[in-house]
Chain A
């Protein structure tokens, strides 16, 4: 009886209804589909809720200052004048300085580890680099205070002021009083923090470049360096860019290490040695003791601005990747 029933059931055309659904679910495909979809959707949900909450709670500040919030350079909790420009400037400058230092360093290290170093050395160093990426940022901040800041004041700073300071145009970045803390010091500490991301991801990407690519270049008479620089690196370009933007995202949002070495002074200064401030740092510093409603609202609007900056920069990153792909080089 039961066996005939199953036979009939199997022979029947695909049916709809709860029973069929259960049977389809038993195979797991649908369950996996729905579950993964839910998790993917939750990312979207969380992101939009963050933006919604920031938007809602920054209402007072947005209503009072409007677009002037982006232009104003005053941050005065006593008289309730708030402007974001020094913080936006500080966030951008420290991130740029960190990338200028970290990208060549990280890329060169990744090329060495993937192309030139013996596999065993490469793997063990990669392990150490992953460890570096896991060091808490407050440790980097303390190292910054006790090692980078004094070095900056006594050695690196004066050396740069006496050399690069005399250059036309760029020179103004390297002039002025040097306290040891400031944009440049924050940039150095950030560079140390983001370089493991660049090395780790770039190395992985370079390792995935097919062996045939290298062999073909070598067979055409290219030197080892030429094959690396003209064939392997362009092939991995998209992945390397990805690592750089991962690093940028970390640099933009870094709080603890930056606030310990940047000097925490909301001013826009041409000199890289001047003290400054970043968005993440001011939020961390002032949020707990922000007593006034407008004050709190302005801090939350700063959070919104940081979110917006990350969004725009990531968008630009996508465009850049698209543009380079169209430009050729990649198969």
Chain B
């Protein structure tokens, strides 16, 4: 008995030494600020489960993430918008996109005497942000909101002043909803806004909207939920008015799942599906296709596996929508491309 215990404890000691000797892997990553809360949660939980693997994530913005990845100063990047063809062509190595979570953007407003949820047609949102619809009682707005007494007041448009993934999703949706928007303004993290005031960050936009009578702006769904800010319904591709929630966002991704390209660089704004919320988007991890360091490669692949399975369970707690099953299956297959 005693001998056996000795053997067991010896074996334990040996494995402990072996584990301590397997050298720690330190991964550096940088990029998008929008998924930062879930990423830091993931990297922390993963580090506790695999003490030798430590991932440092700097939320410096999508643009910075892409630039640092291309410069080789980080092991992987993160972005709220997929890299453009031009950026991929400039890159010295092949970069793979892996969707991680989903986010959505919602319209918020402050109109004297209006307390209920407003319905916004796609035309109405485009018109308001283009500056062609200037009054709250414009026919395009009132026809979707029967029974609501909208004032004859000038609309004050509020947009983000800082470059952000939120603006990217919003302008991507407006570009799909209107040719005119696409040709005149386009989609990007910052655009040349035809009208409106700029607020810094979600808090800047919601602060300006709250203070300014007859204002409308757009904010992240998470921010609206966490701060109990009310927001409007938006008409989706099938013509239905949908209020954004996590299920509706996942539904939008599921609706787009069939046409998703192999490199996952896809916009899911205005996705088909009766319950799909139209202003949703993936956010991506950007992983180099070739990672020469075997330890780092295994660590990254291991993390991707974990993120797509167990990691998704942490999403709702932080108000992120989880990825739909078909996309997870497709991503799991794509991990093999990392070599």
What chain B residues lie within 8 Å of A77 (beta carbons)? 163, 188-192
- Decide: B208 and A181 in contact? CB cutoff 8 A: yes
Question: What are some 10 contacts across the A-B interface (CB < 8 A)?
Answer: A77-B192, A179-B212, A265-B198, A275-B198, A285-B198, A288-B162, A289-B61, A289-B189, A290-B63, A290-B190
A75 is an interface residue with CB less than 8 A from chain B:
yes
- Decide: B204 and A75 in contact? CB cutoff 8 A: no
- Docked CA distance A216–B63 (Å): 66
Nearest-CB residue, chain A, relative to B164: A289
As a 0/1 sequence over residues 261 to 276 of chain A, the CB contacts with chain B under 8 angstroms (1 = contact) are 0011100000000010
What chain B residues lie within 8 Å of A286 (beta carbons)? 162-163, 190
- Docked CA distance A289–B61 (Å): 5
A54 is an interface residue with CB less than 8 A from chain B:
no
- Decide: A75 and B192 in contact? CB cutoff 8 A: yes
What chain B residues lie within 8 Å of A76 (beta carbons)? 191-192
Interface of A is mostly: loop
User: How many pairs, one residue from A and one from B, have CB atoms within 8 Å of each other in the complex?
Assistant: 92
- Decide: B161 and A180 in contact? CB cutoff 8 A: no
- Decide: B163 and A290 in contact? CB cutoff 8 A: yes
Select one of B164, B192, B197 contacting A264, CB under 8 A: B197
Q: A78-B185, A145-B207, A181-B208 are in contact. Are A289 and B200 (CB under 8 A)?
A: no
- Decide: A78 and B187 in contact? CB cutoff 8 A: yes
Interface of B is mostly: loop
- Decide: B196 and A265 in contact? CB cutoff 8 A: yes
What chain B residues lie within 8 Å of A149 (beta carbons)? 211
- Decide: B191 and A264 in contact? CB cutoff 8 A: no
What chain B residues lie within 8 Å of A47 (beta carbons)? none
Nearest-CB residue, chain A, relative to B32: A289
A153 is an interface residue with CB less than 8 A from chain B:
yes
| Other contacts beyond A153-B212, A265-B196, A289-B61: 17, CB < 8 A | A76-B191, A77-B190, A77-B191, A81-B192, A145-B207, A259-B161, A264-B200, A285-B190, A285-B200, A288-B60, A288-B61, A288-B163, A289-B64, A289-B163, A290-B63, A291-B81, A296-B63
Nearest-CB residue, chain B, relative to A291: B63
A260 is an interface residue with CB less than 8 A from chain B:
yes
